[in-house]
Amino acid sequence: MEITCPVSFTDFDRVLLGHGSGGKLSRRLIDTIFYPAFKNEWLEQNHDGCVFPMNAGKLACSTDSFVVDPIFFPGGNIGDLAVNGTVNDLACCGADPMFLTVGFILEEGLPLSDLQKIVYAMKIAAEKADVRIIAGDTKVVAHGQCDKLFINTSGIGAVPPDVCISPSKAEPGDVVICSGNIGVHGITILSTRESLGFETTLESDTASLNKMTSKLVKTITDVHVLRDPTRGGVGTTLNEIAEASKVKIELDEARLPVPDAVRAASEILGLDPLYIANEGILLVILPEKHAGEAVALLQQFSEGRQTCVIGRVLEPGGASVSMKTIYGNHRIVTMLTGEQLPRIC
Amino acid sequence: MEITCPVSFTDFDRVLLGHGSGGKLSRRLIDTIFYPAFKNEWLEQNHDGCVFPMNAGKLACSTDSFVVDPIFFPGGNIGDLAVNGTVNDLACCGADPMFLTVGFILEEGLPLSDLQKIVYAMKIAAEKADVRIIAGDTKVVAHGQCDKLFINTSGIGAVPPDVCISPSKAEPGDVVICSGNIGVHGITILSTRESLGFETTLESDTASLNKMTSKLVKTITDVHVLRDPTRGGVGTTLNEIAEASKVKIELDEARLPVPDAVRAASEILGLDPLYIANEGILLVILPEKHAGEAVALLQQFSEGRQTCVIGRVLEPGGASVSMKTIYGNHRIVTMLTGEQLPRIC
């Protein structure tokens, strides 16, 4: 999705060390870029932090730093990725995300127009996810001491009283549902790295998933596990769940939603789509009796149109993930070892 | 304060790109460094985020990224600085800090023993401030793409019902109280930068101030403003308060607690102590009738032994800060322009 941002800087306007001083230039950055995009009653408290009222109940919080390279890629940029990433971590706790904080680390010399585009993408992503950015911080390091910019987002959400989602709750008899195509974000980022010399028409699937999860957990009360399989991919995420729940999980390769473009690129690069990072899909584990209802519910959302059952939870003990291949035999799916794709998110 | 950390790595053990993969090496980093230091019931949820119960009321949240250079300095390191920084931002909202999240960005090649020492300092600082680290994230970038490590901390605290602290609440008739010596952190960091070629016996004043603020706001109900004058120093912080409250503030130079070592170094370097960063002091603004009680209360804490009144709030309008000099005349104290000391926190 291409976002058109109102740009008020020229190519000569760059981030200076003084923008991180806490003094006049910091204030100017806030007044010209951050406030116009994020402005809300909470942020206007203009304090060291933000004070807000909260009802009694369960809260969720999460934090994530984003170092994706390149900072602009087909389908998004580091800004919407940073908002969606933390929104989705909260959503996977069963929470309705409410508030985000944002911490920028900027490299001296970064074009202010780039920063403005990224901040604008954050504004749009926050509006879509219905979250407010209520506190922020900006540091500037000298040229060469970081790579363009890094963003940390941390978030707070409210967990409805009856909702209890945990990676340790997968049970024998559950099914594993995947809400969309696998490997799209990772292959998109790889395609932009010049040295790899391949092209694709793919776009990152970065999106906020909290509207899907919110409807799901409020409709089906015994959802056991929610996870967004980002770094490490579906394979690693399911291994973490198998370990936490002490169960065996079996995937069905024939059902895995791997788009042709991902499959082709993976073969060229020698990668396994099960370990490629995703930013806009969800793994749902719940009792088989709810599978049909859950799939139909998720398919109502544009991000969930491809939702399908991809596996099931077998007997407890062993804590492993296997896959029935398209040839009918089985192979073990381990956790990712080493690093496939640095700086994918 | 020298912290002795149990180190279990040799000089050959370094951060690898795979430590940020989300796979096996990420898990090992968590199991060998982060969990042993931070372990608590919340962190053990082992999820994308952390779910915790909260009573109804006012909450405060804050975020800060830390890029201090060098990462180890007299009196502390980037780890305790990161914990104390966010604890103090929450404290200055009048909150009792409860939970922190931590986001690490690590440079490939960073010695794991350094990371372990820093994490251990975070553990000790969190214990002192009585806060729990309940969620975290680690990214690794290639050698040369960041400088050793950056840390983001974000935090949540509970604000007692009657407490209402804001930079916009300074009123004519208030006094400005400072809880300790000015300029110590900034000059300490500067002294470690080899190219500057001067030495000092100073140590950073990094400390958590929440026990002081908690007692203060619970004892004296009409505290108007609390701020820790970090980046930009006392001068910039008071300008922000003057602007937010639309008042004039007058400092009394004769009362400013500037230690000899800070004064000497400032003169050599051509710096004004009013703009040098502090990490362990607090500015308090409250009605003059409470000044004696507040000073006595803060002096009971080891961090507050040097507490004194340094100025007062004059008539509204004008939004400026001035200083009565030791020669009896007045000078305007503006906000910091440009950048005095990059990467001071």
pLDDT at B200: 73
Residues of A within 8 A of B139 (CB-CB) are 65-67, 150, 343
Contact B15, B115 (CB under 8 A): yes
Q: Residue B54 is nearest to which of A56, A90, A167, comparing CB atoms?
A: A56
Report yes or no: B109 at the A interface, CB cutoff 8 Å: no
Which chain A residue has the Cα nearest residue B159?
Answer: A51
Say whether B336 and A99 touch across the interface (CB within 8 A).
no
Residues of B within 8 A of A61 (CB-CB) are 49-50, 52, 99, 101, 134-135, 156
The C-alpha of A219 sits at a distance from chain B's nearest C-alpha, in angstroms, of 21
- A305 by DSSP, 3-state: which? coil
Q: Which of residues 136-175 of A touch B (CB under 8 A)?
A: 136-137, 139-142, 144-147, 150, 152, 154-157, 159, 166-168
Say whether A63 and B18 touch across the interface (CB within 8 A).
no
CA atoms within 13 A on the CB side of B301: 22
Under DSSP, the state recorded for B14 is B
Q: With a cut of 70, list the residues of chain A below it in pLDDT.
A: 1-4, 194-198
Say whether B338 and A23 touch across the interface (CB within 8 A).
yes
Give me A83's structure tokens. 């908002």
Q: Residue A244 is nearest to which of B18, B46, B93, comparing CB atoms?
A: B46
Handedness of CA B48, B51, B57, B60 (dihedral sign): negative
Say whether A52 and B63 touch across the interface (CB within 8 A).
no
- Residue B29's H or E segment, with its range, is helix B24-29
Say whether A63 and B104 touch across the interface (CB within 8 A).
no
List of residues 6+ apart from B140 with CB closer than 8 A: A339, A342, B15, B16, B17, B18, B19, B20, B105, B106, B107, B108
Give me A144's structure tokens. 């060469």
CA angle B303–B304–B308, rounded 5-degree value:
150
Contact B202, B262 (CB under 8 A): yes
Contact B14, B110 (CB under 8 A): yes
CA angle B135–B141–B142, rounded 5-degree value:
155
Instruction: Specify the pTM.
Output: 0.96
Residue from B31, B58, B89, B137 to probe the interface with A (highest A Cβ count within 10 Å): B137
Query: Cα–Cα distances in Å, from B115 out to A315, B29, B136?
Result: 40, 10, 14
The model's pLDDT over B54-104, given as tens digits with 9 standing for 90+, comes to 999 999 999 999 999 999 999 999 999 999 999 999 999 999 999 999 999
pLDDT at A250: 97
pLDDT at B258: 97
Please list, residue by residue across A39-51, b when 16 or more beta carbons sit within 10 angstroms of its beta carbon and e when fewer do.
eeebbebebbbbb
The model's pLDDT over B125-142, given as tens digits with 9 standing for 90+, comes to 999 999 999 999 999 999
Residues of B within 8 A of A93 (CB-CB) are 47-51
The model's pLDDT over B26-44, given as tens digits with 9 standing for 90+, comes to 999 999 999 999 989 888 8
Q: Using CA atoms, how far apart are residues B196 and B191, in angstroms rounded to an integer?
A: 7
Longest dimension (CA), chain B: 66
Question: Which of B270, B314, B322, B209 has its CA nearest to residue A48?
Answer: B209
Say whether B168 and A46 touch across the interface (CB within 8 A).
yes
Amino acid at A145: Q
CA atoms within 13 A on the CB side of B114: 19
Report yes or no: B286 at the A interface, CB cutoff 8 Å: no
Q: Using CA atoms, how far apart are residues B123 and B206, in angstroms rounded to an integer?
A: 15
Which chain A residue has the Cα nearest residue B48?
Answer: A89
Report how many Cβ contacts below 8 Å link chain A to chain B: 290
Residue indicated by tokens 């090649």: B109
Mean residue pLDDT across chain B: 93
Return per-residue pLDDT of chain B as tens, 345 residues. 556 677 789 888 999 999 998 888 999 999 999 999 998 988 888 777 999 999 999 999 999 999 999 999 999 999 999 999 999 999 999 999 999 999 999 999 999 999 999 999 999 999 999 999 999 999 999 999 999 999 999 999 999 999 999 999 999 999 999 999 999 999 999 988 866 666 778 999 999 999 999 999 999 999 999 999 999 999 999 999 999 999 999 999 999 999 999 999 999 888 999 999 999 999 999 999 999 999 999 999 999 999 999 999 998 777 899 999 999 999 999 998 877 778 999
Taking residue A83's Cβ as centre, other Cβ atoms within 10 Å add up to: 30
Q: Using CA atoms, how far apart are residues A338 and B191, in angstroms rounded to an integer?
A: 40
Q: Please give the span between the terminal C-alpha atoms of chain A, in angstroms, as a whole number.
A: 17
Strand order in the sheet with A321-324: A225-227, A283-287, A174-178, A308-316, A247-252, A321-324, A330-333
- Residue A247's H or E segment, with its range, is strand A247-252
The C-alpha of B329 sits at a distance from chain A's nearest C-alpha, in angstroms, of 25
Contact A92, A171 (CB under 8 A): no
Q: Using CA atoms, how far apart are residues B287 and B312, in angstroms rounded to an integer?
A: 9
Report yes or no: B92 at the A interface, CB cutoff 8 Å: yes
Say whether B21 and A59 touch across the interface (CB within 8 A).
no
pLDDT at B17: 93
Residues of B within 8 A of A22 (CB-CB) are 230-232, 236, 277, 336
pLDDT at B333: 96
Residues of A within 8 A of B44 (CB-CB) are none
Report yes or no: A46 at the B interface, CB cutoff 8 Å: yes
pLDDT at A2: 55
- Residue B153's H or E segment, with its range, is strand B149-159
Question: Which of A310, A232, A235, A230 has its CA nearest to residue A278?
Answer: A230
Say whether B244 and A16 touch across the interface (CB within 8 A).
no
Q: At what angle do helices B184-192 and B260-269 cross, to 10 degrees?
A: 60
The model's pLDDT over B313-326, given as tens digits with 9 standing for 90+, comes to 998 777 899 999 99
Taking residue B199's Cβ as centre, other Cβ atoms within 10 Å add up to: 9
Q: Residue B236 is nearest to which of A22, A61, A337, comparing CB atoms?
A: A22
Report yes or no: A58 at the B interface, CB cutoff 8 Å: yes
Residues of A within 8 A of B94 (CB-CB) are 51
Give me A139's structure tokens. 């540091």
Q: Using CA atoms, how far apart are residues B36 and B123, in angstroms rounded to an integer?
A: 9
Determine what percent of chain B is predicted with pLDDT higher than 70: 97
Q: Please give the span between the terminal C-alpha atoms of chain B, in angstroms, as a whole number.
A: 18
